[in-house]
Amino acid sequence: MRNNHAKEKFIYCLEGNWNRNPRSLQSIKPILELLCNFSKVKYIYHKCTTKEEFIKGLQKYTQKRYDNYSVLYIAYHGRKNRIYFGNEYITLKEIAGILEGKLHGKTVHFGSCSTLNTSEKNISDFIECTKCSFISGYKKEVEYIDSTAFELIYFEILQNYYSFNKISRAISHKYKTLAEKLKFAMY
């Protein structure tokens, strides 16, 4: 049931490759299509396989025409404090520098292994630099199906609640076991 006081949170998604096969159909796009078809959540999806494409995607997201897209969904392979593009990577600090001061009222979700397994300082610096409302993601390596299923639920919860505390409580109340298994974190 949709909370009438919650503002719709459209999703702007940047996704990398999940394996080396260029013809692979592995993608998180089907969960975005499910959200659109069943919950009327609008989304914009970009496949960005290189660091340069990713940076351009981030810069594009900050344009005024995307103001209604309040969730930035970054779906890539990750490790502690970074996301990967094959052998290249970008750190949270570098991402924050690109988005500096441009994410007022927005949420950033890292759909990537271990990216949020970093210091509280790195997390707070990211939030302070970008001015985002909060960030979320995983603090360990996660299984693709488990994390994708959780993200479908998480994005639906974001549609129904407007505050960090209410979102956090909804996850704890209904999906605590899965969130703990994935070491899901919100800051």
Residue with structure tokens 């994708």?
148
Band (8; pLDDT cuts 50, 70, 90): confident
**pLDDT score, position 20:** 76
Instruction: Name the region of 151 (left: φ>0; alpha: ψ -120 to 50; beta: rest).
Output: alpha
Give me the torsion for CA of 37, 38, 44, 48, rounded to 10°.
-90
Q: What is the mean pLDDT of residues 14-33?
A: 87
What is the rounded distance in angstroms from the CA atom of residue 143 to the CA atom of residue 146?
5
Give me the torsion for CA of 66, 93, 155, 142, rounded to 10°.
140
Is 3 a residue whose pLDDT tops 90? no
Q: What is the mean pLDDT of residues 95-115?
A: 98
Band (1; pLDDT cuts 50, 70, 90): very low
Band (121; pLDDT cuts 50, 70, 90): very high
What is the rounded distance in angstroms from the CA atom of residue 52 to the CA atom of residue 11?
21
Instruction: Name the region of 81 (left: φ>0; alpha: ψ -120 to 50; beta: rest).
Output: left
What is the rounded distance in angstroms from the CA atom of residue 152 to the CA atom of residue 130?
25
25-55 pLDDT, tens digit per residue, is: 889 999 999 999 999 999 999 999 999 999 9
**pLDDT score, position 2:** 45
Residue with structure tokens 């790195």?
122
Could you give the percent of the chain with pLDDT greater than 90? 88
Instruction: Name the region of 114 (left: φ>0; alpha: ψ -120 to 50; beta: rest).
Output: left
The helix or strand, by DSSP H or E, that contains position 149, with its residue range, turns out to be helix 144-160
φ/ψ of 51, rounded to 5, equals -60, -40
Q: How many CB atoms lie within 10 A of CB 133?
A: 16
